[in-house]
Homo-oligomer: A and B are copies of this chain.
Amino acid sequence: MNPVPTSENDSPPVYREIAEALRHAITSGQFADGDRLPGENDLMQQYGVARATARHALSVLINEGIVVSVRGSGIFVRAFRPLRRHGPRRLARELWETGRAVWEADANDREFETDSITVREIDAPEYVARALDLPDEARVVRRRRRHHLDGRPMQLATSYLPAELVAGTAIGEPDTGPGGIYARLGELGHPPAHFTEEIRVRMPTPGETEELRLSAGTPVLDVLRTALTTEHRPVELNEMTLDGSAYVLQYDFDA
């Protein structure tokens, strides 16, 4: 009789129970990666609930990132096959000294591509000036680009470099040449020797969701890297936003 059967004591809401049942079916292997789950109509029948309730249950799993919905087709179990990004090794000097860009180091025989490259000289935002140890009114070269692997967008990156150091060099051009920014910095007498990476996690903005083609429930990683010379002068700040479902980050260090 009761439209909302809060009858049983403290029982979780129906939509949660449905979500939990589906989640269990997935984690226990009843549904494999890519399998189609029971849809809204199935759930309405099986559990005798209204459509909104069935949808609510599915939305929980979608926001957990364990399933994706495909309009007109169904709800599918999501796979997770990340790319390993090895912090220290990929930034080893030998790499960019031998003409490979840092981003290339991640792509083991896979097809990589960089697009949406924009380069501009701008006034340094306050936090950039601070990170690069520059005065507030300083000019910086800002390089923006998007990296793909096997046709899939993987990360957005924005680098800032002191304009006084790099203006008029290939670093101000869309194509920085073999070995990329770091090789050019080396030629200018300021090869990066030390790196600091800061990692944060958050849910993406709508713009990032579009640019990285993220499905709902996918967090992003913010990696903020500062490159320093042997004299500990900061020469680059690189702000990266990675598709969280596409990466495993790895760092090695000693006690």
Contact = CB atoms under 8 A, between A and B. Distances in A.
A221 B220 CA distance: 11
A196 B88 CA distance: 11
A252 B203 contact: no
A59 B52 CA distance: 14
A65 B253 contact: no
Contacts of A245: 201-202
A249 B200 CA distance: 7
Interface in A170-223: 182, 191-206, 216-217, 219-221
Contacts of A87: 251, 253
A244 interface: yes
Contacts of A192: 255
B196 A199 contact: no
A249 B93 contact: no
Interface string A119-133: 000000000000000
Range for the number of chain A residues in contact with chain B = 35 or more
Interface of A: 20, 23, 52, 59, 63-66, 80, 82, 87-88, 91-93, 182, 191-206, 216-217, 219-221, 244-245, 247-255
Contact residues of A: prevailing secondary structure: mixed
**The 9 residue pairs across chains A and B that have the minimum distance between CB atoms:** A219-B219, A201-B244, A199-B249, A88-B253, A93-B255, A64-B203, A251-B251, A65-B203, A201-B219
**Oligomer copy total:** 2
A253 B251 contact: yes
B202 A199 contact: no
Nearest to A242: B201
Contact of A219 (B195, B203, B205, B254): B203
Nearest to A253: B88
Given A63-B63, A196-B250, A206-B20, A255 B91 contact: yes
B203 A254 contact: no
B252 A194 contact: yes
Nearest to A220: B201
Given A87-B253, A203-B217, 12 more contacts: A63-B63, A93-B255, A194-B254, A195-B252, A195-B255, A196-B251, A197-B252, A199-B249, A201-B201, A201-B219, A202-B219, A251-B251
